[in-house]
Structure 1
Amino acid sequence: MLKYVVLGPLLRVLFRPDVRGLANVPGSGPVILACNHLSFSDSIFTPLMVGRRVTFVAKAEYFTGKGIKGRLMRQFFLSTGTIPVDRSGGRAAQAALDTLLRVLGEDGIAGIYPEGTRSPDGRLYRGKTGVARLALESGAKVVPVALLNTDEIQPTGTFIPKIKRVRMRFGHPLDFSRYADSRGDRFVERAITDEIMYELMVLSGREYVDVYATKLKTSIEMPVTAHPSPLDAGAPEGR
């Protein structure tokens, strides 16, 4: 794959990753990587560091971009096994979860951003319960992954990242098998999600805000946008 043959070694030389806790990722079986989301480059560095294939879902628009930028993005996503999901319909969130459940059902690794979108200001925001549903339905362990400085490397709205050492932390696997009989219980799903977000807060050192980031973004956009984008779904944004 392109990631390992060309892109991987190049990125390791340029960004000299400082990664701790990588041994916490199980070497086999289904695993969910639950990551905080600071930058587009989170989706580049996370799969790069893990020896096993990591599957994220991404907005279908990322596969249809025009020009050099569009081709580069499409090639990267294809080379890393990223799966496009059409978010235009009302079932987009469920489609994303179903896709990741298939990956976990094949003993793969699914990557998810519980916040549902990139942080607008670097703080850690309330997690959506899609990650809990994935854990309960698949039986997979959840490994929290903290990206510490990707917002400095590639701030939102920029295409070319700054050459700076990337720092990441992988937490201990979280086992929620004790809730196996509570699938569909929204209170259990919230408790699981909050536990995951707490671990991300500790790992990342970022301030936690008990508000959905998508709602904050919508409130910021409303004064200048007549119809805010309906991105408040209970599943990962993907990128």
Structure 2
Amino acid sequence: MLYWFLKYIVLGPVLKLIFRPKVEGLEHVPAEGPVIIASNHLSFADSIFMPLSVKRRVTFPAKAEYFTGKGVKGRLVKLFFAGTGQVPIDRSGGKAARAALEVGLKILRAGGIFGIYPEGTRSPDGRLYRGKTGVARLALESGAVVVPVAMMNMDKVQPIGQRLPNLKRVHIRFGPALDFSRYAGMAGDRFIERAVTDEIMYELMTLSGREYIDMYAQKVKSAPEPAKVEQPIAA
């Protein structure tokens, strides 16, 4: 009830009035049945604006820390994330990826929509990075179709590190649903899962028009910055 209250009574109308979202291809989202929405990830606000454009409920995984804060602020943050359809995922340790998959499978097997960012983290520079195969595992184990979604300009609306968004029009583009039923029963085959993931990333590249980099975004983020070379002083 909280999700629908925020979406249609409180949060949704205000954000639509201010940011006037331009949404293309919404007809590609099936009206019923399990659906995986696979999106590029440019901004913290991706998980807010994209679900607002879909009539059905969309559930995204979120860091467990958002649900465990103390005091009034902690309760408000928890209320906000729960109300916008996000569920807590413990991302620490080696079991984090499987925990996210289990949550996704539970939602999909109940006929719902699960949102996922195949890159695994926000793009550090707006480019599209190599997808992780969790999205393929979800599709193959659940039988759900995958709808690719390009968040076109969220890095301009709310750049990384900026707390308040800029007053720019949000632009979201949905692509045709991808059916991977031809690979039924092949979940766990790493070559098949990589092929499925790469097909999804290709569609995201085409939809978004963003440059594709065949590296994991997290690896780029964690790479040490190159040392600055002192230029010699001219005599």
- Counterpart of 1:180 in structure 2 is 184
- Counterpart of 1:93 in structure 2 is 97
Residue correspondences, number: 223
Equivalent residue for 1:121, pick from 108, 125, 129: 125
Shift of 1:70: 4.9
Query: Using the alignment, how far apart are the partners of 2:84 and 2:181 within structure 1?
Result: 29
Pairing 1:170–2:174 present: yes
Greater gyration radius: 2
Q: 1:19 to 1:220 in 2, by over 3 A?
A: farther
Pairing 1:143–2:147 present: yes
Query: Using the alignment, how far apart are the partners of 1:201 and 1:2 within structure 2?
Result: 32
Equivalent residue for 1:212, pick from 208, 212, 216: 216
- Counterpart of 1:233 in structure 2 is none
> Which structure 2 residue ranges, 5 or more long, are not aligned?
228-235
Give the 3-state SS of the residue equivalent to 1:99 in structure 2. Answer: helix
Give the 3-state SS of the residue equivalent to 1:56 in structure 2. Answer: strand
Q: 1:69 to 1:149 in 2, by over 3 A?
A: farther
- Counterpart of 2:193 in structure 1 is 189
| CA deviation vs aligned residue, 1:81-110 (integer Å, no higher than 9, x gap) | 211011223201100110010000000000
Report which stretch shifted further, 3-12 or 212-221. 212-221
Letter in 2 for 1:155: P
- Percent of residue pairs bearing the same amino acid type: 69
Letter in 2 for 1:140: A
- Counterpart of 2:59 in structure 1 is 55
Letter in 2 for 1:85: I
Shift of 1:68: 7.5
- Counterpart of 1:201 in structure 2 is 205
Q: TM-score, normalised by structure 1?
A: 0.89
Taking only aligned residues, the RMSD between alpha carbons, in angstroms, comes to: 1.7
Query: Using the alignment, how far apart are the partners of 1:221 and 1:62 within structure 2?
Result: 29
Query: Using the alignment, how far apart are the partners of 1:67 and 1:122 within structure 2?
Result: 35
- Counterpart of 2:161 in structure 1 is 157
Q: TM-score, normalised by structure 2?
A: 0.91
